[in-house]
Structure 1
Amino acid sequence: MRLHRLQVTAFGPYRRTEEIDFDELSSGGIFLLHGATGAGKTSVLDAVCFALYGEVPGVRPRNRLRSDHATPDQLTEVVLELTVGGRRLELTRRPEQERPKRRGTGTTVEKHFSALRELSPSTGEWTALSRSHQEIGEEIRQLLGMSREQFCQVVLLPQGQFATFLRADATERGKLLGRLFGTDRFVGAERWLFERRGAVEDRVRAQDQRLIALAHQMRQAAGRAAAEQPPPETAPGEPGLAERVLGWAAFARTAAREHADVAELALSAAESALKEAESDLEAARETAELQQRYTDAQARSAQLAAERTRYEADTERWERASAAQQVTPALDARDTARREHDVAEAARQRTAAALPDGPADADQLAQRAGRLREDLGRLDAARRAENRVNELVAVRDGLDREAAADEQAERDTAAWLADWDQVRAAHQRRIDTAHQAGQRAVQLAGQLDAARTGLAAARRRDELIDLERAADERLLRARETAAAARERWLELKERRLRGIAAELAGELADGEPCPVCGSVAHPAPAEPGTGHVDRDTEERAQADSLRADETRGAAEIELHTVRERLAAARETVADRSVAELAARLAELADAHDEAARAAADVHPAREAWELAEREHQRRVDAQQRASARAADLLARRETLDAELAALREQLTGLLDGEGSAAEHASRLERLAAAYTAAADAAKAASGTAERLAQAETRLTAAARGAGFDTVSQAADARLDAAGLRALRERIEEHQARQAAVTRELADPEVLAAAALSPADPRRRRAEFDAAGDRLRDAFAARQAARSRCAELDRLSAEAERQTAELAPLREEYTRLRRLAELVSGSSTENQYRMRLESYVLAARLEQVANAASLRLRRMSSGRYTLVHTDARISGRGRWGLGLRVVDAWTGTERDTTTLSGGETFFASLALALGLADVVTEEAGGVRLDTLFIDEGFGSLDEQTLDEVLDVLDGLRERDRAVGIVSHVADLRQRIPAQLEVVKGRYGSVVRQRSSAEARVGG
């Protein structure tokens, strides 16, 4: 990677656009970057990093990149031109920033901007590649092969860290190497192994716990067998636990099967005893039943003897009723004839009373009825004429009603049609009104959306005003806290520097050389004074200061974000209040609802208009039909009137003034019907009297034939079928009961049982129940024994299965435990007790020491070489992170803390360059043609400075450029190519001087 050109505008301390030509600066291989403290030397390196990665080193927020000296219309921008991977690229970056609005007053937020272009070697023209922040970041990371942190370590060499690195103990050295090489993943691997081991250990213990739980369940299932020999006492994780549990399970299964065999024998004995008790119970029940039958038969025999008189009376009554059955048909016939005669005689008397000329015989009454029917025949013609008159009158009345209805409908239609023009105009006005309301509703909908947006923005504005006030207060507190924390840190740092001698004295050990003077004798080591501050206290204060700065930066970002959102909200609604906007929104909403309701009437209005049109056409058609129908009705009425006049003249001649023909005919019909009914009733009464006399004669003869002296005796003895059947059933029931008692008393079994002593089934039942209880107990005992055997078999199988499953898990746990102890340095197999992270860092440290020694020997004229050691230094710190310096002049190997200030500088510089080589190789071997080296040259003497510059000059091999950031005045004479940063009241500027210009000036 080679830098060609850097252009910054309104960036950091630079107010205007400043351009740096790295091609011109690096033409001599080495160039110097110098300037007063706070002028902006570091900002040049920040701009390079920001152009590449969109971020600056450290924790500085991007919203603080803009120059405080810049005018409002200037945009902060960084443009970097470089060659990487054989491609000439141009990167342009602008952070998020405020700018004036192009129209109106106030400011708006300019979003973060990124652009990437590539120069075509063939055409010499720039081609735009991307404007995506993510795509550009990914492209640069792939080309460089380094993250931002690695780039800052390799290209912007953190030499100051390596000066501390040389003097640090193994623990501090491990922390620094961990940050440089990012070994958190190995710490994560250690943590994962420990967590994995713990998880597997928990699973093993959980399996053991389940195995112990199974042993307890087997103890409960085993019953008496467990009491004879209880299970072994075990604990989770105890070796041999599974074998002891499985051994005891085998014993419990054997004992349980023995108990099951004993229970089986007891059950067989109980079953035999139950069968014998059941046989005795059945015999007692049969004897008791026969004895009871004998007793019951004797009781029924005594009861039948008491009912003998009633039985004989029932038998005599049944015989008389049976004889009366022969007379019953004649009695029924006589009674039927008497009823018929009574009915006929009543009818004759009733019809005779209705005649106008008194009673007569049947023949006379029939003759009178015939004469009346002859008169009715002569009235038929008059009745037909009279019926036709009535029909014609009804038709004429109907025509009159139709004519009246047509006249009324015609008047209604004429009145309706007279108002048609007004109705039509009203419907048109209704449709037009609905259309206008629809258009207004559309307009109001747009205004309503704008009003809602404005109201929401006003509410956001009011909320953001409160948020801005709170954020401003938080920022003020954060700034005060950050200032106090920094002041506290600087105070502690100054106090520590004043007592640094006491701190160094605290690290002295008898027999070991002093890191300052090299003496092994320490006669009067300095003592800590009042208020002495050690390194940990200072570092904690520094960490507190950094955290306070981070909090302040976050508060500034929060305040900036809130102000941007507030400006956007104010731009939308200006200064209008929420109440005003809410009232306007409610007004618009009411108006829109009213317009929408009116617009919704457009379809009903059109339907009403179409309905009115159809009604108008119907009315016109009805008016025309009514006119035609009125003429037809008039002609038909004239024809009816003529026919009515003729018929009425005919009726007058036929009736001769005796009312209507219908009334006269009705009167004759009623009289003829009365004579006919009287004749029929007289004839029927004569017939029934004759049949009654015949029935009386037959009844008297039947009663004497059946053995009765009179008809009344036969009637008294008669029973109906139900009574006769009930009497017969009672007689037969008595006879059956008598026969059953006789058979029962003659039964040999009953007689034999009666001769025995009384049976006792209750006692036999008690003996049977007791035998059943013994059988149930034996059966339950047998079932319980079988259940114990089955449960023990199941639990034993489960224990064997879990034991088989636990075997590979325990093997895995053993492997994980050994590996975790190995990477943590606690295993006896780990000779140096080195953790995994320390092992990786030791390998990296060895690579860095080898690469650094190549340059250190040259810087020290072949005197010093850095070597890595796995041993623990002075019994303190970590294993494997030891670093020693070999002095070729004395042939001794000593601690790096014994180096002088200048020696420490070039040793740390060699380490920084060695680190650059190692990280570059790890990142994929990307060529780095431009490097920057930080301060530290002021501690070198003239000869050492020359040697260091010779080494740096050697970095120019293959066209490599090195930029030195330093305040040392002597370097300005030794390095002709310079970039000076000059600070002023209105911002900093850069002055560039190339090697050629220096030679011309010289």
Structure 2
Amino acid sequence: MTAFGPFGSTQSVDFGELSAAGLFLLHGPTGAGKTSVLDAVCYALYGSVPGARQSGQGMTLRSDHAAPGVRTEVTLELTVAGRRLEITRQPPWERPKKRGTGTTLDKAQTWLRERDAASGAWKDLSRSHQEIGEEITQLLGMSREQFCQVVLLPQGDFARFLRADAEARGKLLGRLFDTRRFADVEKRLAERRRAAESRVREGDADLLADAHRMQQAAGGSMEPPELTPGEPGLAEAVLSAAAVARSTAREQLTAARCRLATAESALADAGRALDAVRERDRLQRRFAEARERADRLRERSGAHQEARARMERARKAGTVAPALELRDSAGAEHGRAAGAELRARALLPAALADAGAAGLAAAARRAAEELGGLESARRAERRLTELLGERADLDRQERADEEAREDAETWLADWEETRAGLQAGIDSAQQAATTARELAVLRDPARQRLNAARLRDRLAGETRTAEEQARAARERALAAKQHWLDLKEQRLNGIAAELAAGLTDGEPCAVCGATEHPAPARKVAGHVDRETEERALADHQRADDHRAEAERRLGAVREALAAASAEAGDGATEQLSRAVDELERQYAQARDAASALHAEQERLRRAEDEHELRITAQREAAVRAASRVGHRERLDREHAALEEELAQARGDAPSVAARAAQLERSVGLLTDAADTARAAEEAAQRLKEADARLADAAFRAGFDTPEAAAEALLDDAAHRELQRRLDAWQHEEAAVRAVLAEPETVAAAQQPPADLGSAQRAAEDADRRVREAASARDAADRRCAELDRLSARAAASVRRLGPLREEYERVARMAGLTAGTSADNERKMRLESYVLAARLEQVAAAATVRLHRMSSGRYTLVHSDDRTGRGRSGLGLHVVDAWTGRERDTATLSGGETFFASLALALGLADVVTDEAGGVRLDTLFIDEGFGSLDDQALDEVLDVLDSLRERDRSVGIVSHVGDLRRRIHAQLEVVKGRSGSELRRRGTR
């Protein structure tokens, strides 16, 4: 163990050497860390510590005495199933950061190794927490809870087990023997019972819901059964009501069909009459509209003739349209070319304003040749710019080096004073750490006395309350006993009437044997029967049990009060609290001051690093200054040569780039001007040719001038609109002539006007009557279909509910039997309790073997099936006293007797759990405390029993601070506590 619990340094324990004697002792003062040795064994195997200490692990496992850089670690080497294994576990811890201040969290780590029997070398098996946990659990054959009960025998737990009720015993045994599968069976059967009951109730509810739906579908002519889900006769009542509703609905459907046929015949007659009136009205309106259209055509005949003439002139002008388009295109092109030429010439010098296209092209070639000769000068100009940048960089570097040198000199001037101040801070923090360690040793004793004082004050009040409760319980027990004795006396006085109640003529009397009973005794008012007496006896027994329990609680509180008073001393609680608060305040101040040690050390280290950096910066700045002198001279010579070359190339321009830009602009302007001049000459020639073609085309089409032909042209939209008007006139004229020539239209126009409104109203009335009759017929048809569907659904539900109800009854009987609530389960014992009772019976038998020897043959543990709380049974545990021959509850044992019984029970349970785990061999057991309640003779008997375990090649480690055990057991492991943490010392071993 390293930095584990109270052990600040690394401690090693060789249990193989301690176990050689078969019996060894682990002892030391209170709080030294005896139990922490066993915690380390359990933590190495399972990654957690036993009992209530398993909560809040991680940082709580780490020793407060350990150095900050030492990590908590436990390594266990063990032999199991013929294999030599080594387990190493490290809980998570907050270590100091390697860089900077503060801490960082490292995760928990685990290693599992195995020694090769042939070579003796260790080989790694796994570093996974889950894999290692599964491997160890499989090899040992038991969980952590079982290991803590079987190998690390906690006496306090088994003493509580002896006094516990059936419910608490069941929880412990359930964890050890893993009877969850039987509890799962109970749960599964209960779930199946609830599910089956739910299905039956749902089926009945659905059937009743179908009955209500039938009532709605039948329109109120059906009365649903007044039954609830689960009541008998529900199915028959629903099916009978459905049959009556179906018969009534079919009669209503037949009557609705007859009414619909009559209404449809009347509608057909009204429809034919309406069609005839509508046709005559349509023909009369058609003739009138045709006469109106003919009148409108005569009024627009002049405009129609003008449109025909306009269309003819447009047709002739269409032959001239291509020549017009060609001339317009040539004119537009000539205008654009002339404008471009004027704009290009305006940008030229005055000397070239009147030059032709050829002269402009020659001038552009001369400017391009001069531009090509400036490339070398451009490169020289770019290099000159680079030289200026390099000179600026040298100046910036010189200024930066000068500033760095001055800053380093200023910082180094204060170095000695800075280092002295940082060292003083480190010395102060180290002194505070020493003070904090001294105060930490005083904290735990002070806290223990304060806690004991608070417990003493609380227990004083509880003692008074327990005394009042015990006195009241004694009075209630006496009153209940007196009541029972009074009822018993009354029953004995009236026993003749009770015996007479069982007499039958011809049957012999149980008292006198006579077969005739002329005057049997009669029960009088206030007669007490057997049941009343038994209830009074049960009340008396419960009151007596409450009295015993109250007196036991009073004794326990008094013992606890005496122990707390002895530990707290005579000091007042307030005074102890103030002392603890002052000690905590001083300790907190010292720890806060000591916590700055690492930060102060880190600040000194950083200051020393800064000192080295400043000296190095001074030297490097001097070297760079010397190298810059030669570089600056070379740059000055190159700069003068480039300036001379550029002066020749620039001419009158400010720079070579400006001169090149002037030449590039001149080349572009001259080239554009030459191109636009040639394009203008070509456009003028094409315009002249287009004018000649247009004049010839207009003459041939019959127009005096091209302008007249252009005026006669129509655009596409105007042409389409004019053609549409001409076509519409022709269509309208033909349509009017056709209508006025129809014989039926002319004949209808000669008849009286049609009365369409009266015919429509008659047809609407007939149609309304048909719809009403059809709606009634459809409603009756839907009612029949819905009743048929619901009736078939109800019949199917009745057939389906039969097997479900049988299944529910069968599952309910099984669930009640396994849950202990069925009348067939006489002892009201659950299935899991039944299995645990068998295990408890095995444990009691195994424990009796050792208890019989420890108590010199006086006590025997027996398992009891008597009913306990809530009417359940199966987990009772009694002790038989051979001196009195009576069987009594284990809670009545004295302190030493309780230790006998709990130790025997722990060893017996270890044997049974070992067998349950597959007979895995367990060579070592640990018994934690409990020996202080034994006298010398009892202690000898217990040690003899423990020594007998060596017959099965098992060794026993006793954890105790009892001084007499140190004289009786030679092999010892002593835990010595001190200011710097606890240490382990071996005695009596080789």
| TM-score of the two chains, using structure 2 as the length reference | 0.55
CA contact (8 A) 1:154 1:919 kept: yes
CA contact (8 A) 2:145 2:175 kept: no
Question: CA 1:420–1:934 in structure 2 vs 1: closer, same or farther (change >3 Å)?
Answer: closer
In the TM superposition, what is the alpha-carbon distance from 1:284 to its structure 2 partner?
10
Query: Any residues of structure 2 matched to 1:456-467 within 5 Å, and which?
Result: none
CA contact (8 A) 1:169 1:877 kept: no
In the TM superposition, what is the alpha-carbon distance from 1:191 to its structure 2 partner?
5.5
Letter in 2 for 1:951: V
User: For residue 923 of structure 2, what is the aligned residue in structure 1?
Assistant: 929
Letter in 1 for 2:844: A
Distance in 1 (alpha carbons) for counterparts of 2:878 and 2:846: 15
Distance in 2 (alpha carbons) for counterparts of 1:124 and 1:250: 92
Question: CA 1:118–1:233 in structure 2 vs 1: closer, same or farther (change >3 Å)?
Answer: same
User: For residue 866 of structure 2, what is the aligned residue in structure 1?
Assistant: 871
Question: CA 1:570–1:17 in structure 2 vs 1: closer, same or farther (change >3 Å)?
Answer: closer
Farther-moved stretch of structure 1 (944-953 vs 91-100): 91-100
In the TM superposition, what is the alpha-carbon distance from 1:931 to its structure 2 partner?
0.3
Question: CA 1:886–1:284 in structure 2 vs 1: closer, same or farther (change >3 Å)?
Answer: same
User: For residue 145 of structure 1, what is the aligned residue in structure 2?
Assistant: 141
Question: CA 1:120–1:994 in structure 2 vs 1: closer, same or farther (change >3 Å)?
Answer: farther
Q: Deviation digits for residues 580-637 of structure 1, max 9, x if unmatched? A: xxxxxxxxxxxxxxxxxxxxxxxxxxxxxxxxxxxx9xx9xx99xx9xxxxxxxxxxx
User: For residue 128 of structure 1, what is the aligned residue in structure 2?
Assistant: 124
User: For residue 164 of structure 1, what is the aligned residue in structure 2?
Assistant: 160
In the TM superposition, what is the alpha-carbon distance from 1:188 to its structure 2 partner?
6.4
Aligned with residue 977 of structure 1, among 968, 971, 974: 971
Letter in 1 for 2:956: V
Distance in 2 (alpha carbons) for counterparts of 1:851 and 1:738: 127
Distance in 2 (alpha carbons) for counterparts of 1:871 and 1:788: 66
Aligned with residue 363 of structure 2, among 381, 388, 404: 404
User: For residue 7 of structure 2, what is the aligned residue in structure 1?
Assistant: 14
CA contact (8 A) 1:171 1:877 kept: no
User: For residue 343 of structure 2, what is the aligned residue in structure 1?
Assistant: none
In the TM superposition, what is the alpha-carbon distance from 1:786 to its structure 2 partner?
0.9
SS of residue in 2 equivalent to 1:906: helix
User: For residue 23 of structure 1, what is the aligned residue in structure 2?
Assistant: 16
Aligned with residue 420 of structure 1, among 365, 375, 378: 378
Distance in 2 (alpha carbons) for counterparts of 1:523 and 1:784: 77
Distance in 2 (alpha carbons) for counterparts of 1:929 and 1:917: 12
Letter in 2 for 1:21: D
Percent identical among aligned pairs is 57
SS of residue in 2 equivalent to 1:129: strand
Distance in 1 (alpha carbons) for counterparts of 2:94 and 2:754: 121
Aligned with residue 50 of structure 2, among 46, 57, 75: 57
CA contact (8 A) 2:114 2:124 kept: yes
In the TM superposition, what is the alpha-carbon distance from 1:865 to its structure 2 partner?
2.2
Aligned with residue 253 of structure 1, among 246, 250, 270: 246
Farther-moved stretch of structure 1 (150-159 vs 49-58): 49-58
Q: CA RMSD in A?
A: 5.7
Distance in 2 (alpha carbons) for counterparts of 1:400 and 1:76: 101
Question: CA 1:568–1:204 in structure 2 vs 1: closer, same or farther (change >3 Å)?
Answer: farther
Distance in 1 (alpha carbons) for counterparts of 2:258 and 2:19: 110
Q: Deviation digits for residues 765-820 of structure 1, max 9, x if unmatched? A: 76665444333322222121111112222333444455555555555554554444
Question: CA 1:973–1:834 in structure 2 vs 1: closer, same or farther (change >3 Å)?
Answer: same
Distance in 2 (alpha carbons) for counterparts of 1:120 and 1:74: 31
The reply on whether 1:270 has 2:229 as its aligned counterpart is no
Letter in 2 for 1:149: E
Query: Any residues of structure 2 matched to 1:943-954 within 5 Å, and which?
Result: 943-954=937-948
In the TM superposition, what is the alpha-carbon distance from 1:883 to its structure 2 partner?
1.5
Letter in 1 for 2:224: P
In the TM superposition, what is the alpha-carbon distance from 1:932 to its structure 2 partner?
0.8
Distance in 1 (alpha carbons) for counterparts of 2:453 and 2:242: 75
Distance in 2 (alpha carbons) for counterparts of 1:152 and 1:524: 34
User: For residue 932 of structure 2, what is the aligned residue in structure 1?
Assistant: 938
The reply on whether 1:218 has 2:178 as its aligned counterpart is no
User: For residue 961 of structure 2, what is the aligned residue in structure 1?
Assistant: 967
In the TM superposition, what is the alpha-carbon distance from 1:839 to its structure 2 partner?
3.0
The reply on whether 1:155 has 2:151 as its aligned counterpart is yes
In the TM superposition, what is the alpha-carbon distance from 1:83 to its structure 2 partner?
0.8
CA contact (8 A) 1:929 1:961 kept: yes
User: For residue 118 of structure 1, what is the aligned residue in structure 2?
Assistant: 114
**Where does structure 1 lack aligned partners over 5 or more consecutive residues?**
1-7, 304-395, 434-479, 513-518, 543-564, 577-615, 627-676, 678-721, 998-1002
The reply on whether 1:906 has 2:865 as its aligned counterpart is no
CA contact (8 A) 1:503 1:534 kept: no
In the TM superposition, what is the alpha-carbon distance from 1:929 to its structure 2 partner?
0.8
Question: CA 1:411–1:566 in structure 2 vs 1: closer, same or farther (change >3 Å)?
Answer: farther
User: For residue 30 of structure 2, what is the aligned residue in structure 1?
Assistant: 37
Distance in 1 (alpha carbons) for counterparts of 2:600 and 2:216: 79
Letter in 2 for 1:879: S
In the TM superposition, what is the alpha-carbon distance from 1:908 to its structure 2 partner?
1.4
The reply on whether 1:232 has 2:225 as its aligned counterpart is yes
Question: CA 1:760–1:866 in structure 2 vs 1: closer, same or farther (change >3 Å)?
Answer: same
CA contact (8 A) 1:495 1:532 kept: no
CA contact (8 A) 1:853 1:865 kept: yes
Question: CA 1:131–1:775 in structure 2 vs 1: closer, same or farther (change >3 Å)?
Answer: closer
Question: CA 1:430–1:29 in structure 2 vs 1: closer, same or farther (change >3 Å)?
Answer: farther
In the TM superposition, what is the alpha-carbon distance from 1:965 to its structure 2 partner?
1.9
Distance in 1 (alpha carbons) for counterparts of 2:764 and 2:449: 100
User: For residue 861 of structure 1, what is the aligned residue in structure 2?
Assistant: 856
SS of residue in 2 equivalent to 1:933: strand
CA contact (8 A) 2:58 2:93 kept: no
The reply on whether 1:895 has 2:889 as its aligned counterpart is yes
User: For residue 920 of structure 1, what is the aligned residue in structure 2?
Assistant: 914
Letter in 1 for 2:878: R
Distance in 1 (alpha carbons) for counterparts of 2:746 and 2:65: 144
User: For residue 582 of structure 1, what is the aligned residue in structure 2?
Assistant: none
Distance in 2 (alpha carbons) for counterparts of 1:946 and 1:100: 53
SS of residue in 1 equivalent to 2:48: coil
| TM-score of the two chains, using structure 1 as the length reference | 0.55
User: For residue 355 of structure 1, what is the aligned residue in structure 2?
Assistant: none
**Where does structure 2 lack aligned partners over 5 or more consecutive residues?**
292-354, 392-445, 482-540, 565-594, 607-656, 668-698, 700-725
In the TM superposition, what is the alpha-carbon distance from 1:879 to its structure 2 partner?
1.6
In the TM superposition, what is the alpha-carbon distance from 1:830 to its structure 2 partner?
2.5
CA contact (8 A) 1:108 1:568 kept: no
User: For residue 769 of structure 2, what is the aligned residue in structure 1?
Assistant: 774
CA contact (8 A) 1:979 1:993 kept: yes
In the TM superposition, what is the alpha-carbon distance from 1:842 to its structure 2 partner?
2.2
In the TM superposition, what is the alpha-carbon distance from 1:857 to its structure 2 partner?
2.4
The reply on whether 1:842 has 2:842 as its aligned counterpart is no
In the TM superposition, what is the alpha-carbon distance from 1:939 to its structure 2 partner?
2.8
Distance in 2 (alpha carbons) for counterparts of 1:742 and 1:85: 124
SS of residue in 1 equivalent to 2:861: strand
Question: CA 1:406–1:84 in structure 2 vs 1: closer, same or farther (change >3 Å)?
Answer: same
Distance in 2 (alpha carbons) for counterparts of 1:46 and 1:744: 121
Distance in 2 (alpha carbons) for counterparts of 1:931 and 1:740: 126
Aligned with residue 958 of structure 1, among 943, 947, 952: 952
Letter in 1 for 2:890: T
CA contact (8 A) 1:12 1:66 kept: yes
Distance in 2 (alpha carbons) for counterparts of 1:277 and 1:135: 94
Q: Deviation digits for residues 412-431 of structure 1, max 9, x if unmatched? A: 444x4463333664898999
Query: Any residues of structure 2 matched to 1:301-312 within 5 Å, and which?
Result: none
Distance in 2 (alpha carbons) for counterparts of 1:969 and 1:27: 22
SS of residue in 2 equivalent to 1:67: coil
User: For residue 780 of structure 2, what is the aligned residue in structure 1?
Assistant: 785
Query: Any residues of structure 2 matched to 1:805-816 within 5 Å, and which?
Result: 810=805, 813-816=808-811
SS of residue in 2 equivalent to 1:866: strand
